[in-house]
Amino acid sequence: MKKQIAVLMAAATAVTTVAPVLASADTIKHDNVSIGEVEAKIAAALADKYASDKEDGIRVPGPDAVKGYENSKYAVIVDADAAVTDAEAYGLVPVANTIYSGLAEATPAVAGHVRYVVTDAAKVKNLIEKRMSSPLVTGVKATSVLIVDKGVKDNKSTYTTKNKHYVAGAVTDADTQVSLNDIATSGQIDALAGVVAPVSFVKTVTPEPTTNPTKVTIELKSGKKIEVNVNSEALDFTAPKAEKQDLTLEAVRNSQAVADQVVDFAKIANVGGVSRTLDLPLGDTHEYVLDDVEVHEIAVPTVYTKAEGYSKAGADLINPLIRAKRDNKADYSFNYKGVNYALATNAGVKVANDAQAEAAVDTANAKIDVAGDGYVLRLNVRVLDKNDKDRFKTLQFKFEGKTQQDLVRVLNDLKGKNEVVVGKFVKLAGSDRAATAVEVSKERFGYKEADSVVVVGANALIDGLSAAPLAAAKNAPVLIAGKNGLDNGSLAEIERACKDLSNKTVYIVGGENSVPYAAKKQLEEKFGAVVVRLAGDDRYDTSLEVDHRLVKDAQASTTRFVVGGNGAADAMSASAVAAKKTAGKVSPILVVKKDGIKATTRTYLAGKVAQAYVVGGTSTASTQVFKDIEKVINQTPAGNNAADNKVKRLSGEDRYATNLAVINEFYANPKANGLAVVSGKTQYLVDAQTAGAFAADRGLAVLLTADKLNKDQEDTLANGVLKGLRTNIYQVGGVVSNDVMKSVVDILGL
């Protein structure tokens, strides 16, 4: 069993104590890994030795050398569904007969499986290949390999410190030990620091297990996470630290703003300055689940990078896979490296429909893992060789790279139905509208950069668009709630992007029919936020509530963008301009009925508006709307001098022409810093509804598009106000057509 080793050095005496405690560890699972990769992992693990041949990372080092496999920094364990005949011939020893018998506590086996320790990397190769003949047993992989980090620092299994260390359970030496039980709750930690509510630097504390924990994870209000284990040096909560500086405890106790800066703590020194030599806890366990796959390794930068977009080689790899699973036009087939493949079912027969094709290109089970100092994405594709139908196999495309975001982009595109386009632009798109909102937020905000969050409904398009100025004013992402509330991806993005929201105001735009009560509860319970719902009886009153809030908080300019209640595309065109901050203020979007602005709204707006833009034609916002907003401003047009007019209509013969009218009005001087291309189709506008505040932050013009660019759009890109854009080009939403993006790339020379 894993030991705590403590050597007390005092004067000329040395006392060694041994405590039977197994430190907990995380298990990282790698599915569908090839034989060759697992064999290489085993060989590398067993070859990596401690500096001294007397160390095994489990027992107190003695005078004699340990066995070769025990001297490795890693324990390698085979998990099999049945006993292995002649295990010794394969370099295997039952776990129970080795020093690793206690590891079962940290890495529990599948029920009915038998575990063996690998002593010889060369001998075990034959077994691994043989196990591939029957890789599945009642849906569970028959064979996996676990590589357990036994703990190492400076090539040793122990370290020496003059600081106190944590123990599980009761303390036996108060001069050098602190119990993890004493820091298992946020209340205990605050008490140790003398911090009194409502001030706290601790957000959450997670002990594992809950009784006599061997690991405690502390998440601070700053967003920093600290993990301590048995034998970790003990933290001095009375000595907090911020980035690159120490903090005074008095300042932390008296100010939540200061407490929010805490990222670490000093250590507690042993009484009398004595030294202890301590066993290192177990590191992570990597479990490799074997599968019979043909691996093709691909460097992600040769396919896609955020800076350069998709390469031709990348598009030539990704698009055939998308076409193969999308429909029968490609005969559910593709060519890779000169070989023609047909997609196949688990039974080894050619797929017969789109659902089977989607399953064959197994994006549902593809995931991104950490691999060394980078990341790896494994995509399995079940195929038949079209020239040899008896040859059924799984191709594994193993994408490797340093940037997780690039792998996420490739995986999301493989999950979609639209082919990728070669060129330097950034695609912000997820698997659905909520996921797209998350991608936009990730692009807009770095870690803990947002001050709040704005939540809108998945089907309340106008609410989402009128929320853009609010999100810009509050430095907040716009995220989308479904009928059951915020999904896990959206919650995780709030956690990543937002500063501590405890007792801070966040916003819901729309009533409970749009954004359910469940979303409000999530924001309150998970983040401790104060939720303000801005909602009226309908879309018109909801936009007015947003206006009220911005005026109340002195964040509304004297300009309004007026759109009709059925002019969602018009609101999309205006959202980025309305959300642009000038002297800290934004321009609210006012949603009105087609036939005019009601009296109560006109009364409210009086004295608050000096300029207005009516966006859209008279079919969505009538001449009466124009007249009503003129009266609000108390201004009468001065003859035909348009420059004197404080109300202007921006419109065209359709939504795309109206969009160009907005672009020409606001991006002639100064020019746009870039371009956000979105679908202008009504059913798809919702996918890009969260882009307004992002586009405003980056100075992007928003271009609404159909299946192809029209001539006026091409002219605007080639010779008009958008001419010459070379950077900050975005596609927002996965539904923008390939033809559109190809044209954008070609015209702008990306």
> So what's the pLDDT on residue 671?
93
pLDDT-based confidence at residue 106 (cuts at 50, 70, 90): low
* C-alpha dihedral, 688 to 690 to 694 to 696, nearest 10°: 90
> So what's the pLDDT on residue 282?
82
Cα 685 from Cα 691, distance rounded (Å): 10
pLDDT, averaged across the chain: 87
Cα 411 from Cα 399, distance rounded (Å): 10
Please write down the HEC assignment for all residues of 111-128. CCCEEEEECCHHHHHHHH
pLDDT at 22 over 70: no
> So what's the pLDDT on residue 491?
95
Residue 671 corresponds to which amino acid?
K
Cα 69 from Cα 112, distance rounded (Å): 26
- Location of structure tokens 């295990």: 87
Task: Say if CB 503 and CB 203 are below 8 A apart.
Answer: no
pLDDT at 7 over 50: no
> So what's the pLDDT on residue 16?
34
> So what's the pLDDT on residue 462?
81
Task: Say if CB 736 and CB 705 are below 8 A apart.
Answer: yes
- Residue of 694, 730, 690, 695 lying closest to 478 (CA atoms): 690
> So what's the pLDDT on residue 464?
77
Q: What is the pLDDT of residues 565-623, one digit of tens each?
A: 888 888 889 999 999 999 999 999 999 999 999 999 999 999 999 999 999 999 999 99
Cα 117 from Cα 290, distance rounded (Å): 17
> So what's the pLDDT on residue 608?
94
Q: What is the pLDDT of residues 703-743, one digit of tens each?
A: 999 999 999 999 999 999 999 998 899 999 988 998 999 99
- Residue of 142, 147, 92, 143 lying closest to 117 (CA atoms): 92
Q: What is the pLDDT of residues 478-534, one digit of tens each?
A: 999 999 999 999 999 999 999 989 899 999 999 999 999 999 999 999 999 999 999
Q: What is the pLDDT of residues 148-179, one digit of tens each?
A: 998 888 888 888 999 999 999 999 999 999 99
pLDDT-based confidence at residue 103 (cuts at 50, 70, 90): low
pLDDT at 128 over 50: yes
Cα 135 from Cα 146, distance rounded (Å): 16
pLDDT at 230 over 60: yes
Share of the chain above pLDDT 70, in %: 92
The kind and range of the H/E element at 80 are strand 74-80
Find the distance separating the first CA and the last CA of the chain, reported in whole Å: 60
Higher-confidence position of 188 and 104: 188
Q: Could you give the 3-state DSSP secondary structure of residue 25?
A: coil
Q: What is the mean pLDDT of residues 234-259?
A: 88
Concatenated DSSP letters of 627-686: HHHHHHHT----TT-GGG-SEEEE--SSHHHHHHHHHHHHSBTTBPSEEEEEE-SHHHHG
- Per DSSP, 197 falls in state T
Q: What is the pLDDT of residues 388-436, one digit of tens each?
A: 777 888 899 999 999 998 999 999 899 988 888 888 889 998 888 999 9
pLDDT at 19 over 80: no
Q: What is the mean pLDDT of residues 39-65?
A: 90
Higher-confidence position of 569 and 635: 569
Q: What is the pLDDT of residues 27-47, one digit of tens each?
A: 888 877 778 888 899 999 999
Residue 542 corresponds to which amino acid?
T
pLDDT at 17 over 80: no
